Structures are given as structure tokens and as C-alpha cells.
Structure 1
């Protein structure tokens, strides 16, 4: 049992990249934590960490040991949590990384409902655009839009969002309404960075590539939606993102018989061994996205 405890301490040190931060997280004196890791290295007969005054780094042996230890510690923690779930509702802090625009305009009501359903869960949300590191940072799950790069992470698809073209009534009044996809080449098109100069559109029978241009390239869906509502161009957006603007008349569908390639939405985790709080959250979002009102 003492070996398992020391393995858990080692995992916390590596995740924190600092003895001091790990000690604060665990609630253990820094000197005690350092001594325990030193004894673990002595028992193994190999140095696991390079220590400097500013940071720690894994040795080659330490990297191998960390990957094995993390799986063992995760399984042990999950066993305790699954037994606890028999007696109580899921609980604890759920740490989630979310795409800011999708979360604030679409997911917020669903998260509110989830929080009412599971009062034992507390929440920490990271809505920055950066891609968090699920291995070394303390996140339980990341919600991501778009196709994901190949990695060792676990990606579960929870939705596919249709995308269409939208513009403000005023923009269409000033510059005319495109009647066919080729007309888009003569319009201001709001594009995502990195530069997307070709839009692929589909109707019931064919797919067409259209070269588009315009003065604005952005890395924020929310900003793109706002600029479109301020009469600055045509935007390609998921319909869930613009629901309020459509209802209030700030935006209109353009070329309504055409749509862009749908965007998949994934719940990404570092492991398949998930505690109840994370499983319930992923299942809740998946069920809502599948059965959401049309």
C-alpha cells in the first residue's frame, strides 16, 4: 500500500512540475514529499526526476514510470469513486475546458440544467481558446469543435453541428443577396483563421468549392457572429451559435438551400477510466445534442 501511495505522490509531482505546488495540492509538507520521492527512487534504483532550483524534468526512466503509474493510480481512484457512487450522487470538482463562444451561446443553459440535476458537483471552467494539455493539466474533459489531430487522447463524438451562411438584412440590402454560390466571390466574407479562402458548400445533389475573400479574418466565432450582425459581411456559422440573432432578426440565412460541411463536437479525455462526475457530464451533453429541439 505504501508503494501505491508513493506512486500517487510521484504522479502529482510530475503533473504539477513542482514539489512545492504538488505539496500544496496534496496538503503535505514540501520536505516530506521530497523525502518520499527520494526514497521511491532509492527503492527502484533509478533517478526519476532531474531537479533544478526552478523546475523538475522527467528522466527517461521517469517518463516510463510516470505513464505506468498514472494508469495504476487512475484505476485505483476510479475503483473508490465507483464504489462511492453506489451510496451517493456523483460529487467533486469537475474541471472542463470549453470553446468560449459555443459554451456561452449554446451550452450555458445545458450546463445550468446539469448543475441542478447533480448538486454534489462543483465546476471549474476554462474558456480560453488555447488547447489545454489533458495529461499534465488538471482537467477532466475538454469539449472541442472540428476534426481533432491524431493523439493518444480519447475522443468521443457528442454532436455534429450543421453550418450555414448568414448575413444581416442591412448588409443584404446594401450589397445584394447572392443567388448562387459563385456570387459569394463578389461579397465580403468573414473567414476563420488560418485563412479559409475556399468555402465548400453542399446542396441535395452536389458539392461546390467557392473562392471567397474579404477584409476580416478572425479566430473567434463569437466575434464573427457580431461582425455579421453589424452588417460587415457573410459568415459561415453553426446554426446553434446564431439562434438568438435569427430570432431577433439581426441575421438571415443566405443561400438557404446550401450548407457547409457540418462541424463535429468531441468530448476529449486523457483516459477511458473516468469518474462518475465526468461520465455523467459527457453523457448529459451527448443526450441533449442528440435529442435537442429542432
Structure 2
């Protein structure tokens, strides 16, 4: 039969290492010094190793104690997070939810979810920022970020929520005045409204069902750093543009805009929830992401 250990003794051992004293460890744990001493003695007997060097001035770990302490801190941290996560299963979202999302996706998709979240959890407040920066996640000022596109490597935690297609669109009136566009090469010389936030806004990589790939560089006749403004420019007849489906699908269905080169596709993008570098997520974050996930699935199934 395998030997069993009293894991509570790990907390006593960690407290002694971190405070450097049996007395200070007892004060932290709100027990007597004798209790701490007896627990450490029993722990050393359990593991058959000397973990601490005791002197009249201080207590310090042996080499074995240092190695054991590193593992103890991991175990204690995991245990604390497990209890916190379990408590969230029955917790009611509370406090202020602080989140950010890009202007276009945030306005079109996230804002209605924010409103629904407030209706369902009226005791919660929401601070919603439209923007691209992730810096406020690392300094603790935000609980959640929604990001769209292609994520770069980051110490932050990300989970894919959904995806979107990039569509090349223009108005029917504008396209009626242009030569027929049957192949990506036919886009040369066509007015193109580009997103100034893109690293290479004129570069478009198309692929057809047969696996043929064509990369072209389109002449940018108008450059705008706001996707909603870019959409308005296209609707006003300024030219063609590549826009995400979540922003233009209603306009395409209504006939306001028309897709160009429907037999060719552009690279799909992702929609992500990005969290601060902590495994623990408050109930307000979990509840909001659940609602946003439902909204995103409904959008994809339209």
C-alpha cells in the first residue's frame, strides 16, 4: 500500500522558508511556534530528509529543502487556484467588468453582448474600450480583450472564439462601371480603399478551390485607418476594399454591396479572447465570454 502524506505540512514548511523563522511562520499561520516545529519535524520524518538548518539566529533550507520548497510552492499555488475556480462555479458575477475590443468588431458584435450582459447581471458595471492595445491587460487595468485577425506570440493567454472571412466588396453601381473582374489579375487599375493599419495593405493573396494561389499588389487610391470608415467609403463608391464578413454580411444580403471574385478566397482570420497572465478568471469574465461565444456562434450560423 503506498504511503500517504499530510499535505497540510507543506504550508507550514513554505511559511518557515518564506519568513526565515519558526516564530514568524507561526504568526503568519496564526498557530503556536510549537505546532510549526512539530509539523516540520514530522514532515522531515515523512520524507526521510533534513529540510532545514536550524540555528539560534535563523532557519535556512538545505539543498534538499530548496528543491522541495520549489515543488511545494507549485503545489500550494495549484491548490489555491483549484479552490478559487471551484468557488466560481456557484459565484454570481459582480463588480466592474473592464474589457476592450477593436472598433469594428466591438461596435458590431460586442456592444450588443455588453448590453445583454448588463440586463442579465444588473449589479455589474461595465467599462468598455474600443481600441487595439493589449498593454492594459498586462498592468491589470483590464479583465479581458477581444482581438481579431492573426495573433502574434504573447505571454498573455488567448482562446479562439470564432473566425471570419475576408471579402472583397464594392457597390453594384461602382462595379457596373468597371471592366469584368474574373481573375485576381483583373484588379490591376481598379480603385482600392485600403486599411492603413495593415502592414502591407495593398497585398492580397487569393486562392481558388483547385488550390491555385495568386498574390497581387493593388493600387491604393484611398487609405483609411478605421475599418468602419473604410466601409462607409466603399458604400459611397470610392472603390473596392477587403473587409471582414461580420462587418459587411448584412450589406451583401441587402444588396448594398456585392462580393467580387466569389470563386476566390482570401485568408481567414480568427477572433480571440485574450486574458491577463493569470489562470484564475472571475465569474464576471466567464459569464461574459459565455454570452459572447453564443453570439458569435449565432453570427456564424446566419
Q: TM-score, normalised by structure 1?
A: 0.68
Distance in structure 2 (CA, Å) of the matches to 1:115 and 1:176: 50
Residue by residue over 1:227-286, the C-alpha shift from the partner in whole angstroms, topping out at 9 and shown as x without a partner, is 110101111111110133224432111111222111111111112211111112223222
Asked whether the 8 Å contact 2:103–2:130 carries over to 1, the reply is yes
Residue by residue over 1:145-172, the C-alpha shift from the partner in whole angstroms, topping out at 9 and shown as x without a partner, is 1122212110111011111110011211
Structure 1 residue 105: deviation in Å? 1.9
Pairing of 1:147-162 with structure 2 (within 5 A): 147-162=150-165
In the alignment, does 2:126 pair up with 1:123?
yes
Q: How many residues align?
A: 224
Partner of 2:10: none
Asked whether the 8 Å contact 1:142–1:267 carries over to 2, the reply is yes
Partner of 1:170: 173
Distance in structure 1 (CA, Å) of the matches to 2:158 and 2:85: 22
Asked whether the 8 Å contact 1:162–1:239 carries over to 2, the reply is yes
| Aligned with residue 87 of structure 2, among 65, 83, 86 | 83
Deviates more, 1:122-131 or 1:136-145: 122-131
Partner of 2:294: 287
Structure 1 residue 287: deviation in Å? 3.4
Residue by residue over 1:36-85, the C-alpha shift from the partner in whole angstroms, topping out at 9 and shown as x without a partner, is xxxxxxxxxxxxxxxxxxxxxxxxxxxxxxxx9xxx7xx97995685376
In the alignment, does 2:195 pair up with 1:192?
yes
Structure 1: 5+ residue runs without aligned partners? 1-67
Residue by residue over 1:105-162, the C-alpha shift from the partner in whole angstroms, topping out at 9 and shown as x without a partner, is 2332333333333333221001134443312141001101112221211011101111
Distance in structure 2 (CA, Å) of the matches to 1:133 and 1:214: 33
Structure 2: 5+ residue runs without aligned partners? 1-72
Asked whether the 8 Å contact 1:89–1:120 carries over to 2, the reply is no
Pairing of 1:143-292 with structure 2 (within 5 A): 143-193=146-196, 194-206=199-211, 207-270=213-276, 271-292=278-299
Asked whether the 8 Å contact 2:202–2:220 carries over to 1, the reply is no
Asked whether the 8 Å contact 1:99–1:144 carries over to 2, the reply is yes
Q: Call closer, same or farther: CA 1:176–1:119 in 2, change over 3 Å.
A: farther
CA RMSD of aligned residues (A): 2.8
Asked whether the 8 Å contact 1:82–1:276 carries over to 2, the reply is no
Distance in structure 2 (CA, Å) of the matches to 1:120 and 1:80: 21
Q: TM-score, normalised by structure 2?
A: 0.66
Asked whether the 8 Å contact 2:161–2:296 carries over to 1, the reply is yes
Q: Call closer, same or farther: CA 1:131–1:227 in 2, change over 3 Å.
A: farther
| Aligned with residue 141 of structure 2, among 129, 133, 138 | 138
Structure 1 residue 213: deviation in Å? 1.1
Structure 1 residue 196: deviation in Å? 2.2
Distance in structure 1 (CA, Å) of the matches to 2:128 and 2:136: 14
Asked whether the 8 Å contact 1:190–1:233 carries over to 2, the reply is yes
